[in-house]
Amino acid sequence: MKIFYSDNHRKHHPPFEVFDGGKRVPYLENPNRMDQILHALQKKDWAEFIEPLDFGLDPILAVHDKDYMTFLATAWSEWLALDPEVAASPDQNAFLPATFALRRMPRVPSTLLGKAGYYMMDLSACIVAGTYEAIISSAHCALSAADSTFRNQHSAFGLCRPPGHHAGKDYAGGYCFINNASVAANWLSSKGKVAILDIDYHAGNGTQDIFYKRNDVLTISIHGDPDFEYPHFIGFADETGADAGLGFHKNIPLPKDTGNAEYLSALDEALNLIKNFAPNYLVVSAGMDTFDGDPLGTFKVTREGFAEIGKRIAALHLPTAVIMEGGYANEALGTNIVTLLENFNSP
């Protein structure tokens, strides 16, 4: 199996994030996540590591707003120029806004901090010096996996960091800046029908935002009910698409303590929808934070559960681009993703 990975992700390593209630904590979406996955994959003779191709910005701009991307590219350098204290100790700081747009009046401010509040959804999408280079490389990992899937009509893995499924057309959030899976799916959509299956613990709000009015890409997200779980304002069962996309989006929110049996039942529902849609390609947003014991999740999915999830998705026999999303139980993360991927590596 081709594994597309870039060490550029290490350039995005914020010194902290801010949890609910204003608590400052070490950044959970950190480079150690990738180290754990790499260590586990390097033990497998079926894992072939490849540097991603450079697809330029066009496939990203086909999904994300141009001004938003410009903001991501320039925010850090603009902030350094505005704040001498930050410039004196950049490694101890991360760029975050203090005011967030409600978007009832969608006007983009002219000031840097105003733009930050408009383009950022929360306090986890921290920007540091290397963030932009890392997110571009992450998107290219996803695009390379999609390209491999198309050219070889076989599955591939985009080992993406930062993750992407919380990033909307023009906003960052939930550790995500570019929606890697959506960029890959949109690129594949010119080759045939595409379905996106999001198995991350949190609702794929950004993916929903991007494809909500389209009928050429079926989007499905299985996740913790937003009534109690992040991202809180999107991911409910009655959100099914709009305009041409009505009926082409499916949210399957699940309660706390969902275990293997309940999760697999929801997965079967999603897989039946994919079969009926009959896509040419599948993109899987593979979050491992459904794992029992993940610090950011409440589900009870076990390693045996991941094996069965991988087996059932692979049984669709679709060329599949698996894109890395969340998962924060780092010691188990590598084994969990390998357990999922092993079902996709046969010729």
Q: What's the pLDDT at 288? A: 98
Q: What's the pLDDT at 344? A: 85
Q: What's the pLDDT at 346? A: 56
How far apart are alpha carbons 104 and 241 in whole angstroms? 20
In the chain, where are the structural domains located? Answer: 2-64+131-344
CATH of segment(s) 2-64+131-344: 3.40.800.20
Q: What's the pLDDT at 347? A: 46
Strands (E), 96-175: 156-158
Nearest one of 307, 1, 277, 51 to 154, comparing CA atoms: 1
Torsion angles phi and psi, residue 291, rounded to 5? -65, 140
Sign (positive or negative) of CA dihedral 220, 222, 226, 229: negative
Buried b (16+ CB within 10 A) or exposed e, 93-121: bbbbbeeebeeeeeeeeeebbebbbbbbb
Q: Is 9 a catalytic residue?
A: no
How far apart are alpha carbons 107 and 100 in whole angstroms? 12
Q: What's the pLDDT at 258? A: 98
pLDDT along the chain (347 residues), means of 10: 98 95 94 98 97 98 98 97 91 93 83 95 96 98 98 97 98 98 98 98 98 98 98 97 98 98 98 98 98 97 98 97 98 98 77
Q: What's the pLDDT at 345? A: 73
Q: Which of 166, 202, 223, 249 is catalytic?
A: 166
